[in-house]
Amino acid sequence: MATVEDCRAALQKMAERLAANAAEAREKLDFERSLAFRITDLDVAFHGQLKDGQITGLTDGDDPRAKIKLTTSSDDLVELVNGRLNVMSAWTSGRIKIDAGMLDLLKLRKLL
What does the pLDDT look like over 38-63, one tens digit per residue? 999 999 999 999 887 788 999 999 99
More confident residue, 112 or 31: 31
Query: 55 pairs with which residues across the strands?
Result: 50
Task: Write down the architecture of domain 4-107 according to CATH.
Answer: 2-Layer Sandwich (3.30)
With beta carbons less than 8 A apart as the criterion, state whether 67 and 99 touch: no
| pTM for this entry | 0.89
Query: What span, in angstroms and rounded, lies between the C-alpha atoms of 68 and 102?
Result: 11
Cα 32 to Cα 2, 50, 52: the distances in Å are 29, 5, 7
Query: What span, in angstroms and rounded, lies between the C-alpha atoms of 68 and 99?
Result: 6
Kindly list the domain boundaries of the chain, sorted by start residue: 4-107
Averaged pLDDT score across all residues of the chain: 89
